Each structure stands twice: as structure tokens, then as C-alpha cells.
Amino acid sequence: MRLKCIKLAGFKSFVDPTTVHFPSNLCAVVGPNGCGKSNIIDAVRWVMGESSAKNLRGESMTDVIFNGSNGRKPVGQASIELVFDNTDKTLKGEYAAYNEISIKRKVTRDSQNIYYLNGTKCRRRDITDIFLGTGLGPRSYAIIEQGMISKLIEARPEELRVFIEEAAGISKYKERRRDTENR
Ligand code: ATP
Ligand code: MG
């Protein structure tokens, strides 16, 4: 499964609707300091359901909305859409029929979050569920940020176990068990 493109609007420095294409398996995003490279990674994490503002380098969850710049007024909402190529059928079951999977998240200044799966409104849970066990997701090992390598090396055994369980595909079942126990 490959990320084909990301569509940003009103998110951090990407105030105007922008589509970033990832045309092959190996892509690099380059540019001067402050041009928005890390904001693209924040966007990927955010749309997959990240619920910690700190992990998005902000103080509150609405900090992801474009808050104005020289000559540009702040906007009222941010949205991100990720389009995945599923022709290799990484996502099975009900999703196997789709060659493309689109997930989208929108947030307004009054902190209303709306999620969409292939254009249909869904819950945050539906999005996180899809990616559990695939290595993707807001806290998975698919995104290796600055400082993460040393964090892994210095991790306590129980912290390391979380990564191993995700790689082995166990985390999906643990999450479901937790969910059932909490009902
Ligand atoms: P570096 O090479 O230094 O890591 P970068 O390309 O990763 O830089 P980012 O951290 O992605 O840069 O982008 C930082 C820019 O995004 C800053 O100019 C900052 O003002 C802008 N920015 C962040 N949040 C918002 C927001 N909510 N509204 C407007 N601009 C924002
Ligand atoms: Mg950066």
C-alpha cells in the first residue's frame, strides 16, 4: 500500500488548497527551513487520528488551523485528505474492493472534528481501526521523527514491546479487547 497524494487546505502554513503527489515508492520532500516539510508529516499524523497537540508541535488542537500571516487573515477550518493506493490489497476484507482508499479529517475553530472514509462520514475509530496492524497510524513506526532512533535505543522493555506488537500485528487485537472491556 502506498500513499499516492495528500491534499491540504487551511492546515498550518498550507492555507490554499494544495495537493502533494508521491509518484513512486521513494520520494523526498526538500526545501528551505520553514517552508512546511515537517507540516506535511504533521498532516499525515493528524489525519490518522493524532489526538495530542504536542505531537503536532502545537499547544492546542486548533493550532493546526492556519492562523494568519503577513497579509493573510486566519481561516476557520483545516482539512487534510490522504489517498492510498490499495491495488496490492494490503487493506483486506470490505476494503479489498477499493483500489484507492481516501481518508479525510476536518477541524473547525470550535474544535469540531469530522472524519471521512472514501467520502462518507465516519468515526475516528473507523480510521484508526483500518490502519491497526499495518504499521501505519499516528503513533506507529512508519513515521520516524527526529530523536526517535535514540528513543528506541533507550526505550524500556515495555515501551519496545509496543513497537514489536504493532509489527507483529498483535496491537489490533489488543485494542479491540480493550474496547470490548470498556463497553
Ligand atoms: P525545517 O527545515 O526548519 O525543519 P520545515 O520545512 O520542516 O523547516 P515546518 O516546521 O514544516 O518547516 O513549517 C514551519 C512554518 O509553518 C513556520 O513558518 C510556521 O510559522 C508555519 N506554521 C505552523 N503552524 C502554522 C499555523 N497554524 N498557521 C500559519 N502558519 C503556521
Ligand atoms: Mg522540519
37 CB under 6 A from ligand 1?
yes
Query: Rounded to two decimals, what is the model's pTM?
Result: 0.86
Q: What are the pLDDT digits (tens) for 138-161?
A: 667 788 887 888 888 898 999 888
Side by side, the strands of the sheet bearing 113-117 are 18-21, 2-9, 77-85, 100-108, 113-117, 120-122
Write the CA distances from 78 to 55, 89, 106, 142, integer angstroms: 17, 30, 6, 24
Q: Which ligand is nearest to the CA of 72?
A: 1
The kind and range of the H/E element at 178 are helix 171-182
Three-class DSSP category at 121: strand
Q: 60 a known binding residue?
A: no
Closest residue CA from atom 12 of ligand 1: 34
Residue 170 Cα, ligand 1 centroid: separation in angstroms? 36
Residue closest by Cα to atom 21 of ligand 1 = 13
What's residue 116's pLDDT?
Answer: 97
Q: Are 77 and 107 in contact (CB under 8 A)?
A: yes
- Integer CA distances (angstroms), 12 to 25, 35, 71, in order: 26, 11, 16
Which ligand is nearest to the Cα of residue 66, counting in written order? 1
pLDDT at 182: 83
Ligand nearest to the CA of 56: 1
The per-residue pLDDT for 56 is 86
Of the candidates 123, 135, 81, the residue with the CA atom closest to the CA atom of residue 103? 81
Residue that the C-alpha cell 489517498 belongs to: 83
CA of 45 to the centre of ligand 2 (A): 14
pLDDT of the residue at 139: 67
User: Does 39 contact ligand 1 (Cβ within 6 A)?
Assistant: yes
Radius of gyration of the chain (CA): 17
Q: Which cell numbers in the block locate residue 9?
A: 487546505
Could you give the ipTM of this predicted complex?
0.98
Whether 145 lines ligand 1, by a CB cut-off of 6 Å, is no
Q: What is the residue with the minimal CA distance to atom 16 of ligand 1? A: 13
- Give the residues of the chain that fall short of pLDDT 70: 138-139
**Mutation choice for ligand 1 from 6, 13, 62, 79, CB with most ligand atoms inside 8 A:** 13
Whether 38 lines ligand 1, by a CB cut-off of 6 Å, is: yes
